[in-house]
Structure 1
């Protein structure tokens, strides 16, 4: 076992930490299980808490420009205060609940380029700067999300990019301060009415709200611009819908 020693924050000889995940794969609304393994350093310390949270890269708009930042969310304490003696080994088992609105990092068995997701373990020691350990995790679609995205691919839409944007969507209840857009180029049959399609999921335990953001082409007679469509899908009945047919009908009706 290789422990990560927290030298910069706590000085040489400080405690060491290693987070071991049972399985780094999860889904929104699921959980991650594992152990935080601590090893005491050369002197006793008072640990105030061990906390866990997910961290992802978020795009922030600022005027005409923008920037990327790392956003932590879903934070929860794995343990409270305790004393860690020199050389002492201390294991903290955990079951971390993954928020329902967690962005996806995988699609059709492939990693979504640019998307990052890490489980951050924070070790807080009295009188020292908090230190953290980062472990990559993979977030796979829920069955309802997977069916809808697979239907778009079957219709001929082509994935282009995914990103997470800070902000709140109008008229939609969100628990997180950001949302994920999964963008597609249009299938040939829609090329005359769609430049690009973005899919946004806002999910809770019972259902998911699907926002379809369509960038429409403009010409000298029309201004083009963006159009929005919204669907509400129950997790329990998502498998009862012919999604390719349903989405084709919905898009044609919405854009006509």
Structure 2
């Protein structure tokens, strides 16, 4: 990006800002780095604070349907209380950890359609402007990648991914929203379930894997949702036969034999809850599934889907720049790192 945005609320001739992120995707709980480049305006200014916000495009369910909005889920103060001379060029480096529950936006470099951004807020002389906005790419943790790779190896296909406002009941969820990765069932399970949704809730010790199956009804029974959870340690990746492990999870879920499973439901805020708050599953045996462009990645993006993802990201960022409105205020629920 270039210095193309003059901060409108600061008046004509105000400072310009350009945030440049370090190349490559970050991981949940990983460190996001880069530099904020400032160019002074027509006069000297005192920068009161310079803050980076992490935003996500999130869906919310209501009684009358669904809506979308931007959620600020993390803030980091880069600096403040310094003088920016007229036309001066000044750079502020930054480095901070992103939340562990930050959604993943790509798998093996293929875009999942999740829209995240890093926005820069500059406060000068009592006025604030949310200026420069950059897309944020997040790749999965090794354990997340291993689980998704195993689903792919077992014949599941990628359906879609989205972010839902709300909470998953009985978990240690920290953010005000969660990610759902919808999978098309493998042929051997297609007569039992129409789809399987995977939610990862990562933390310093490991991840909670929440699985929900949309079970098909029979001649004498209605379809219903089944939900269960499993825990995976970050250090278990190299000690687990993930194909066998995930296949066991699916069998328990589909056959309703999960000791910690229950019926899932969504309330008016779109979040899941279940009737049992325990955890299940331990590490299996064998070696880790090798990373590569196999499994789910084959069906993640192609043709029309890729075009839709690009359009969605473009609309999100262009809309923020043009309107200058703080759309995320409606759903604001993030933390702040000072």
TM-score clears 0.5: yes
User: Is 1:20 the equivalent of 2:10?
Assistant: no
- Report the counterpart of residue 158 of structure 1 in structure 2: 157
Secondary structure of 1:179 counterpart: strand
User: Is 1:42 the equivalent of 2:42?
Assistant: yes
Secondary structure of 1:253 counterpart: helix
Residues 121-200 of structure 1 mapped to structure 2, 5 A cutoff: 121-200=120-199
Q: C-alpha deviations, 1:6-36, integer Å up to 9, x for none? A: 2422222110111112224111011111110
Does the 8 Å contact 2:51/2:76 carry over to 1? yes
More helix by share: 2
Q: Could you tell me how far apart the structure 2 residues matched to 1:172 and 1:102 are?
A: 16
Cα displacement (A) at 1:5: 3.3
Q: Could you tell me how far apart the structure 2 residues matched to 1:199 and 1:158 are?
A: 12
Secondary structure of 2:193 counterpart: coil
Does the 8 Å contact 1:55/1:119 carry over to 2? yes
- Report the counterpart of residue 117 of structure 2 in structure 1: 118
Residues 48-59 of structure 1 mapped to structure 2, 5 A cutoff: 48-59=48-59
Secondary structure of 1:254 counterpart: helix
Do the aligned partners of residues 7 and 143 (structure 1) sit closer, same or farther apart at CA in structure 2, a change above 3 Å counting? closer
User: Is 1:8 the equivalent of 2:8?
Assistant: yes
Q: Could you tell me how far apart the structure 2 residues matched to 1:250 and 1:72 are?
A: 34
Does the 8 Å contact 1:118/1:135 carry over to 2? yes
- Report the counterpart of residue 33 of structure 1 in structure 2: 33
Higher relative contact order (CA closer than 8 Å, sequence separation 6+): 2
Cα displacement (A) at 1:2: 2.8
Does the 8 Å contact 2:53/2:119 carry over to 1? yes
Q: Could you tell me how far apart the structure 1 residues matched to 2:252 and 2:129 are?
A: 54
> TM-score w.r.t. structure 2 length?
0.73
Q: C-alpha deviations, 1:33-54, integer Å up to 9, x for none? A: 1110111100122211001121
Q: Which moved more, 1:38-47 or 1:193-202?
A: 38-47
Cα displacement (A) at 1:219: 2.8
Secondary structure of 2:93 counterpart: strand
> TM-score w.r.t. structure 1 length?
0.95
Structure 1 stretches lacking a partner, 5+ long: none
More strand by share: 1
- Report the counterpart of residue 102 of structure 2 in structure 1: 102
